[in-house]
Amino acid sequence: MKNHKINILKNKKNKKKIVCLTSYSKAITKIIDKYCDIVLVGDSLGNVLYGLNNTHTVSLKTMINHAKSVSKGIKQSLFVVDMPKNTYNNINSAKKNAKEIIRKTNCDAIKIESNNKNYSIINSLVNSNINVMGHIGYTPQYKKKFNIAGLTKNDEKKLISEALQIERAGAFSIVLECISSKTSQKITEQLKIPTIGIGSSKNCDGQILVTDDMLGLSGFYPKFVKKYANLKKEIEKGVKNYRKDIINKKFPRNENSY
């Protein structure tokens, strides 16, 4: 399915940095699609939009509904959708749910977080003509506590092995989340497929951030987030002016009325 987009992405490795952002709606997608190589409908929407403490209870239906909205705004970027927790516990459920996501959203690929065990699931999906993006390091669906990965020699060795097994399983790319710079560089150098970093240094082939974090909307600013705008401040300013105009009877004017 749509392997031309996958091939374009893979050919950027070691040549041109890959730009990725998350999106959960048509409106945001229409803006970022012009500047991104990948748009990801992340299960981070559980935290960002629904105020959940983690992503564990995000449902397949919720992911599909937001992905359907994103699909209406995307034109050129590779369109990837996260598979939520417990939707790929075995090969049969993974195939069924991945196919449902693709059928209902027309996405190009799905993303699966690694638990060091699901290589056969990735391989089975790929053999079923489903494009899969991997994800290692800090994997929110499986890790109870945040930690930086790859700081010790033993951890580095495990992460490199994990990444290589995901590549051998057939994934076209892999997200490295909060992995040390040194280990990220070694993984990126050893893989033939592109690495997409979040909190994993410039050594990766590309970068991804949650759009709401990057635009100053979420209030979540860990070390790896650079705030490129302060939309929270702009929105507050707009709302205050709106309130002021209503109270002072300046809105609506005749031109705003029928």
Residues 148 and 240 grouped into a single domain: no
Handedness of CA 208, 60, 87, 107 (dihedral sign): negative
Average pLDDT, the chain: 97
Residues 166 and 249 grouped into a single domain: no
200 pLDDT exceeds 90? Answer: yes
Question: Could you report the per-residue pLDDT of 107-164, keeping only the tens digit for each?
Answer: 999 999 999 999 999 999 999 999 999 999 999 999 989 999 999 999 999 999 999 9
> Using an 8 Å Cβ cutoff, are 50 and 42 in contact?
no
Q: What is the rounded distance in angstroms from the CA atom of residue 3 to the CA atom of residue 225? A: 31
Mean predicted confidence (pLDDT) in 242-252: 98
Residues 26 and 132 grouped into a single domain: yes
> Using an 8 Å Cβ cutoff, are 78 and 38 in contact?
yes
- Of 18, 44, 21, 204, residue with least CA distance to 113: 44
Residues 111 and 239 grouped into a single domain: no
Q: What is the pTM of this model?
A: 0.96
Amino acid at 36: C
* CATH label of the domain that carries residue 131: 3.20.20.60
Q: How confident is the model at residue 2 (pLDDT cuts 50, 70, 90)?
A: low
> Using an 8 Å Cβ cutoff, are 72 and 102 in contact?
no
251 pLDDT exceeds 60? Answer: yes
49 pLDDT exceeds 80? Answer: yes
List the domain range (segments joined by +) for residue 253.
231-258
Question: Could you report the per-residue pLDDT of 7-34, keeping only the tens digit for each?
Answer: 999 999 999 999 999 999 999 999 999 9
Other Cβ atoms within 10 Å of 35 Cβ, number: 10
Residues 21 and 123 grouped into a single domain: yes
Residues 57 and 184 grouped into a single domain: yes
What residues act catalytically? Answer: 177
Residues 72 and 160 grouped into a single domain: yes
Distances in Å between the Cα of 36 and the Cα atoms of 18, 22, 148, 177 are: 8, 10, 27, 19
Considering its fold, how many domains does the chain have in total? 2
Residues 64 and 102 grouped into a single domain: yes
**Percent of the chain scored above 90 by pLDDT?**
97
**Cis peptide bond N-terminal to 252, omega within 30:** yes
Residues 95 and 75 grouped into a single domain: yes
Residues 34 and 80 grouped into a single domain: yes
Element (H, E) at 38: strand 38-41
Residues 187 and 243 grouped into a single domain: no
Residues 114 and 217 grouped into a single domain: yes
